[in-house]
Structure 1
Amino acid sequence: MSITILNEGNPTTPSGWRAATWDCAIKYQQRDDLALLVSDQPCSAAAIFTTNRVKAAPVRYDQDLMARNGGILQALVVNAGNANACTGSAGAAAALAMAQTSAQALGLALDHVFVMSTGTIGVPMPIERIVAGIEAAAKRLDQAHGFAAAQAIMTTDTRPKHAAVRVALPSGSTVSLGGMAKGAGMIHPNMATLLAVITSDAALSPAVLDAALRQAAELSFNSISIDGDTSTNDTLLVMANGMAGNQPIEQLDSPDGAAFLAGLTTLCQRLAHAVVRDGEGATRFITINVRGAQSYADAKLAAMTIAKSPLVKTALYGADPNWGRVLCAIGYSGAEVDPERVILDFGGMRVLEGGLPLPFDEAAATALLDVPQVLIEADLGLGEAAATVWTCDLTEGYIQINTEYRT
């Protein structure tokens, strides 16, 4: 098995995928804000949705869709600028209209079209302009438009998020996976306003694809946090059309299944990291490793509590080696902790051991934190379990973006 990362890859990198975009003037001026992504043949599909009980109309539509269509899709339509959330029956009708228009324009079954929306909550959808945009975009589908699709789904993002991987399966075939994501704020696990779409040309069943997606999401999109807020629209979708011609993967724990899962996890992590790096106002990408926990759940809980602490995040913005804030977060995380066994390292420099601070060079520690990529490590000293999460610092830029978001 080998995995090749294609940094300039995108959702149309795998075989049999085309995309198109259109400017529907939903919120933004002089930029495309609608994307179509279409496979040349039906796909196995799986999706994970927000756990927020306030769910946008497209999320509710898609959850019902995936419950009835047997995990088969062939197209996605997504708009940016309007979340179609808290929009009542009119919002539900708009989500359905997006699916119906796409199906008709593409000549597909209605239940093979997935719908996504992202943007401002509580604003009526300009559905007439969106319908017209879908009809226009459907006439210009092309494999070359994958990058444009990643651009069209952006909201407060400062850059498009896209990548692809090529996986050599142990059985001898090669499959590809491509993807795009959007999100810069309202990002926290389960999912995170985050939308992500993964495409593939691998052949595998919807059940195997669903199992792979859930494992990959746990180690990627569910291991990031920007601000601790879980959106109404969060959706992670994967579709695989089988056009690579590999022997269908029937078991995830088979050699080919393990290779596909590794490729999917790699791609999901690259997209998730891109979301964190583009966090609203962020200046630092922060990796938090927690080891020595009694269980993975405890390690993840401690790491994520550090990641979402405003006190930790503001200290790291200022490159302040304030170990007390990190230890405090571990202490209230709910994970099993013995303070006298905790070890903390900032950028490789040990600052605390046995629950007590060590004499360290403050200036040197500050220099280790005053970099674009920061590493925080904690050893709980209680077991063998470990977890890694990723976050960013909290700056004035985040406040400015979110005070002006609706205007």
Structure 2
Amino acid sequence: MPVNLQAPDPKALHPVPGVRIGTAMAGVRKAHRKDVCVFVLDEGAAVAGVFTRNRFCAAPVQVAREHLAAARGIRALVINTGNANAGTGEEGLAHARATCAALAGHLGVEPTQVLPFSTGVIMEPLPVDRIVAGLPVALAGLKADGWADAAQAIMTTDTVPKAVSTQVSIGAQTVTITGIAKGAGMIRPNMATMLGFIATDANIDPSLLPALVRQAADQSFNRITVDGDTSTNDAFVLMATRRARHAAITALESPEGLALQEALIGVAQQLAQAIVRDGEGATKFITVRVEGGATADECRKVAYAIAHSPLVKTAFYASDPNLGRILAAVGYAGIEDLDQTKIDLYLDDVHVAQRGGRHPQYKEEDGQRVMKRSDITVRVLLGRGSAEATVWTCDLSHDYVSINADYRS
């Protein structure tokens, strides 16, 4: 069961003017489940994305990058679950392109105006014929309020769909931001998440979108880990239909640009945290905050060393305050001139370690009391400067092994 996470209320997901969504049951891997999703964008929409840094990237990632670089104006996205179309060589590229061409033919646009995305099992041929056969059904069901269906249609081992929506006032106009994401395992994004899609009707200069999507990813999806594995298929896409009636945003540093950034990052962070809360086999949601670093980069190194440690994660699963494991992770994070006598460690409100040693008033029953909670914050103070960084992770349970051992069955 996910950690303090419920499926979104479809009524709370605001439609984004200029975006229509349709889904279909194409039988990509399993029958009788939504597994194909189509986004159709009005002409004039701007689209930007960030993708996995895994050098063994999937065919749809390669094709999506090519189509974005072609700058023909993206008009549609096609997403399938059940099959990653990764590790499939030239055949996989041909299948990704064929899917784009098929959708483009239905819409009367160029294939380079379609972005493909896939998630699921790696190194199996994409059943492109099934996906293509499902496109008419998805297109026949296009609707503005299809976000909840879309969130369900992109799931793999997720136990609940993930969707977030908000509205913000910009230039006295209401601007909508709605997004979905999927992911539960193979999560250590190095750009984004396994799959994430956010749309807004904000009227923003298209040239600002690449920087905006990178900022949003860096503050959200690049701050999570479930198991330390970076997927072959990671993609995070931002769509701006530019239909809102406020004056165009031409600088991210403007009051309007900052308001949009804040709202967008808020949506992205909620989606990213939902992925961790739904981590495969997770029973605890853990915030790791590292403060007092010389640089934000070294703070992230320390935070990820803690968040990735199997020993730390299993201790949290067992509610075992074996907190020396956290200090050990801090020590091997890669800060060569780290002074251990300046390190303090907190577990929620409990001061565990002071100046590198056990706090004189720390009691193990206090640590155990905190570790039994489902939401826990770990704070590490490095005593080196004023930089800080936060990472979100989960514990590691028996169920994680079982889920991944049985994934292809």
**TM-score range relative to shorter protein:** over 0.9
Structure 2 counterpart of 1:105: 106
* Shift in Å, 1:321: 1.7
Contact 1:10 1:180 in 2 (8 A): no
Deviations 1:368-399 (Å, cap 9, x if unpaired)? 11111011000001100111110000000100
> For 1:207 and 1:9, how far apart are their aligned partners in 2?
33
> For 1:11 and 1:68, how far apart are their aligned partners in 2?
32
| TM norm structure 2 | 0.95
Deviations 1:217-269 (Å, cap 9, x if unpaired)? 11100000000000100000001011112211111111111111111100100
Could you tell me which amino acid in structure 1 is paired with residue 64 of structure 2?
Answer: D
> For 1:325 and 1:364, how far apart are their aligned partners in 2?
17
Superposed counterparts of 1:265-344, under 5 Å: 265-335=265-335, 336-344=337-345
Q: CA 1:22 to 1:7, structure 2 compared with 1: closer, same or farther past 3 Å?
A: closer
> For 2:16 and 2:193, how far apart are their aligned partners in 1?
26
> For 2:10 and 2:365, how far apart are their aligned partners in 1?
39
Structure 2 counterpart of 1:3: none
**Corresponding position: 1:39 with 2:41:** yes
* Shift in Å, 1:8: 4.8
Superposed counterparts of 1:154-303, under 5 Å: 154-169=155-170, 171-191=171-191, 194-303=194-303
Name which of 58, 68, 71 aligns with 1:69.
71
Contact 1:10 1:146 in 2 (8 A): no
RMSD: 1.5
Tell me, what secondary structure is at the counterpart of 1:93?
helix
Deviations 1:77-96 (Å, cap 9, x if unpaired)? 00000000111222111101
* Shift in Å, 1:193: 6.8
| TM norm structure 1 | 0.95
* Shift in Å, 1:21: 0.6
Deviations 1:201-221 (Å, cap 9, x if unpaired)? 111123211111111111100
> For 1:228 and 1:38, how far apart are their aligned partners in 2?
34
> For 1:286 and 1:110, how far apart are their aligned partners in 2?
43
Contact 2:189 2:231 in 1 (8 A): no
* Shift in Å, 1:11: 7.4
Structure 1 counterpart of 2:31: 29
Long gaps (5+) in structure 2: 1-7
Deviations 1:336-367 (Å, cap 9, x if unpaired)? 52100000001210010010112422122211
Q: CA 1:397 to 1:193, structure 2 compared with 1: closer, same or farther past 3 Å?
A: farther
Tell me, what secondary structure is at the counterpart of 1:41?
coil
* Shift in Å, 1:278: 0.3
> For 2:391 and 2:406, how far apart are their aligned partners in 1?
29
> For 1:12 and 1:37, how far apart are their aligned partners in 2?
15
Aligned residues: 400
Structure 2 counterpart of 1:136: 137
* Shift in Å, 1:192: 5.5
Contact 2:189 2:221 in 1 (8 A): yes
Could you tell me which amino acid in structure 1 is paired with residue 143 of structure 2?
Answer: D
Could you tell me which amino acid in structure 1 is paired with residue 172 of structure 2?
Answer: G
Structure 1 counterpart of 2:57: 55
Deviations 1:33-89 (Å, cap 9, x if unpaired)? 00011123331111000000001000000111111116x322110000000011122
Structure 2 counterpart of 1:84: 85
> For 1:64 and 1:294, how far apart are their aligned partners in 2?
39
Q: CA 1:83 to 1:12, structure 2 compared with 1: closer, same or farther past 3 Å?
A: farther
Contact 2:189 2:234 in 1 (8 A): no
Q: CA 1:198 to 1:139, structure 2 compared with 1: closer, same or farther past 3 Å?
A: same
> For 1:117 and 1:328, how far apart are their aligned partners in 2?
38
Contact 2:310 2:396 in 1 (8 A): yes
> For 1:369 and 1:251, how far apart are their aligned partners in 2?
44
> For 2:11 and 2:356, how far apart are their aligned partners in 1?
46
Q: CA 1:199 to 1:165, structure 2 compared with 1: closer, same or farther past 3 Å?
A: same
* Shift in Å, 1:173: 2.1
* Shift in Å, 1:13: 2.0
Report which stretch shifted further, 146-155 or 11-20: 11-20
Long gaps (5+) in structure 1: 1-5
Contact 1:16 1:241 in 2 (8 A): yes
Q: CA 1:390 to 1:228, structure 2 compared with 1: closer, same or farther past 3 Å?
A: same
> For 2:229 and 2:67, how far apart are their aligned partners in 1?
26
> For 1:319 and 1:168, how far apart are their aligned partners in 2?
44
> For 1:113 and 1:392, how far apart are their aligned partners in 2?
35
Could you tell me which amino acid in structure 1 is paired with residue 75 of structure 2?
Answer: Q
Contact 1:9 1:162 in 2 (8 A): no
Contact 2:193 2:222 in 1 (8 A): no
